[in-house]
Amino acid sequence: MATPKYKRVILKLSGEALAGQQGFGIDPNVIHNIAQQLAEVVELKVEVAVVVGGGNIWRGISGSSKGMDRATADYMGMLATVLNALALQDALEHLRVDTRVQTSVEMRQVAEPYIRRRAIRHLEKGRVVILAGGTGNPYFSTDTTAALRAAEIEAEVILMAKNGVDGVYNADPQEDPDAVKYDELGFFDVLSQGLGIMDSTATSLCMDNDIPILVFALNEIGNIRRAVMGESLGTIVRRKTRA
Ligand code: UDP
């Protein structure tokens, strides 16, 4: 059996990826499909922590643009990620994959608090750790959470699963038929060209801690396995080596 390229990964699932075609809420078929892909990867003995977003339910910035206090709106966004985490946990447990949800916003009845050492221990035992509640702080994003947790738990890569796009392009491929996909990019290219893979806080954190990001399409079955196996897929953002 081929050996996976990565032993420990962070999968970043945006809320949008859980919404499927409907564009909001949680699509049970989509979440089942993701759970199946994750089960395949766990079989390969890859340790997986999933950082879930919440944009399918609530985004702080939208609330604040309508006059809400930004911090309050952001806390609502953090709570939205907990809903997604529980839905993913349920789908995984239906497939008999052991999971633990940890949240940065304490909610003892439904999830463990985020404790780094405990998260690592779960991973070592083959459990999928679902990280909810973002960083626990307003003004941040779940992309930044993925970067932060990847550094903390020493994940080798962030798998940035996207819905409908299979990598990073020099223009929007939906609008420009001549858009070209990059196979590889440096962190600085992402920052200086304003490529919207993740926000600049998250990108800088990955750059400073040398954590590669693989951007790929989630909706193609088997892609999470391909990603952990190191098959050529999507766009990799990493520290550029000198030619
Ligand atoms: N959020 C936050 N702090 C964090 C992570 C998330 O305040 O550390 C809030 C923020 O309002 C954000 C919302 O939670 O809009 C949902 O997260 P995000 O937008 O990152 O979700 P995604 O785009 O991945 O679905």
Q: Which of 58, 65, 74 to mutate to test the pocket of ligand 1 (most atoms within 8 A of CB)?
A: 74
**Tell me: the pLDDT tens digits for 196-219?**
889 999 999 999 999 999 999 998
**For residue 104, how far is its CA from the centre of ligand 1 (angstroms)?**
12
- Domain ranges within the chain, ordered by starting residue: 8-238
Low-confidence ranges of the chain (pLDDT < 50): none
Q: State in Å, rounded, how far the first CA of the chain is from the last one.
A: 33
pLDDT of residue 165: 87
Task: Give the position, in ligand 1's atom list, of the atom nearest the Cα of 16.
Answer: 25
Question: Which tokens go with 171?
Answer: 């223009």
Angle between helices 28-43 and 70-94 (to 10 degrees): 60
pLDDT of residue 18: 93
d(CA 22, CA 25): 8
pLDDT of residue 242: 60
Phi (first) and psi of residue 50, to 5 degrees: -110, 125
Is 152 exposed, middle or buried, given 0-12, 13-18 or 19+ CB atoms closer than 10 A? middle
pLDDT of residue 172: 86
Binding pocket residue ranges, ligand 1, CB within 6 Å: 14-16, 53-55, 59-61, 74, 77-78, 80-81, 134-135, 137-138, 140-143, 145
pLDDT of residue 201: 96
CATH class of 8-238: alpha beta
pLDDT of residue 243: 56
pLDDT of residue 130: 98
Task: Give the position, in ligand 1's atom list, of the atom nearest the Cα of 55.
Answer: 25
What secondary structure letter does DSSP report for 104? S
pLDDT of residue 184: 96
For every residue of 13-60, DSSP letters joined together read E-HHHHHGGGSSS--HHHHHHHHHHHHHHHHTT-EEEEEE--TTT--H
Q: Which of 65, 81, 199 to mutate to test the pocket of ligand 1 (most atoms within 8 A of CB)?
A: 81
pLDDT of residue 117: 98
Per the CB < 8 A criterion, the answer to whether 22 and 104 are in contact is: no
**pTM attached to this predicted model:** 0.96
pLDDT of residue 223: 95
Distances in Å between the alpha carbon of 122 and those of 49, 52, 96, 132, 228? Answer: 10, 17, 15, 15, 19
Q: Which of 59, 62, 68, 105 to mutate to test the pocket of ligand 1 (most atoms within 8 A of CB)?
A: 59
